[in-house]
Copies of this chain bind each other. A is one copy, B any other.
Amino acid sequence: MDEKNFVVGVDVGGQTTKLGVVDARGEVLAQSVIRTDTYGDDAEAYIAALAEAIKQVVEEAGKKGEIRGVGVGAPNGNYYTGAIAFAPNLEWAAKGSVEFSKLLSKKLNGIPVSLTNDANAAAVGEMTYGVARGMKNFIMITLGTGVGSGIVINGQVVYGHDGFAGELGHTCVVRNNGRTCGCGKQGCLEAYCSAIGVAKTAREWLESSNEPSLLRECDSITSKDVFEAAKEGDALALRVFEYTGTLLGRQFADFVAFSAPEAIVLFGGLARAKEFLYEPILNAMNENLLAIWKGKVKILFSQLKESDAAILGASALAWEL
């Protein structure tokens, strides 16, 4: 049995790294988690620990010698170069470029490693195992701490000239006096429609009025608090989601004008607020679409478990190795 019929998927997050052994049908045979944030700026130490964890999980799955490759999704992961560069949430890759694929492959005795950014990996996961199964043209939007995106055209993830395509969270949604985004620009979609953006909208609105709201009882408001308050029927919290959805929908209309996707798929923590986001997104998008697209582009919400989607998406990358 010399054939290599299994792959490993790795999802590198700011705090934890999830990894799993996956078979050709997309079943996760064994999985594991390590910390991402306990290695300071020592990239080699992190990569050594990751290689060790991969060996262990492969052993656990009983697939030693049968791994075809490792697929990795990581913030700022570049598909072309195999490097992670200037990733603000990864201390060991925040200030320079780490030759991630090369270093990890070396530690794994030459097993090939393929890298992409986390949103692209999620898009591949969704296309292979999720609501975008069978779709050739869709856009994945990840609504988490930030707003990420993975764009699929003709069944292929778009990497662009330099490997960094698909930064839709940093397109401009508020032109004048927009909020300053973490990236330093003003008015980015991410500054308004990420988990942090939603919490900020709520805080701004509470400060600028005396409207009663359940949120006034919270010490430091998070997007989860806004979600809980909206479920209780809190008027201000409900309006925060309506506003967030409206901004998303407007921006989605411009994305549709670019690549004419069959669907836009939402994923990530904030996408759990589907009941409050779906209608405003759909309405604002359709209001801003050309007639040829009105009522024709689907807004879908991922149904994969977040950790599974990321591991599966990253692993799908490894099949191409």
Residues of A within 8 A of B (CB): 86, 136-137, 151, 153-154, 156, 158-168, 170-172, 174-176, 183-185, 250, 253-255, 257-262, 288, 290-293, 296
Contact = CB atoms under 8 A, between A and B. Distances in A.
- For the complex of A and B, list the 8 residue pairs with the smallest distance between their C-beta atoms, beginning with the closest: A160-B260, A165-B260, A161-B262, A137-B161, A171-B254, A167-B257, A164-B260, A171-B257
Contacts of A170: 257, 290
A54 B243 CA distance: 55
Q: How many copies of this chain are found per oligomer?
A: 2
A158 to B, nearest CB: 6
Contact of A158 (B153, B174, B175, B185): B153
Given A154-B156, A183-B291, A290-B183, A257 B161 contact: no
B259 A158 contact: yes
Given A161-B262, A175-B175, A291 B184 contact: yes
A160 B291 CA distance: 16
Contacts of A261: 160-161
A260 B262 CA distance: 21
A165 to B, nearest CB: 4
Contact of A174 (B167, B171, B175): B175
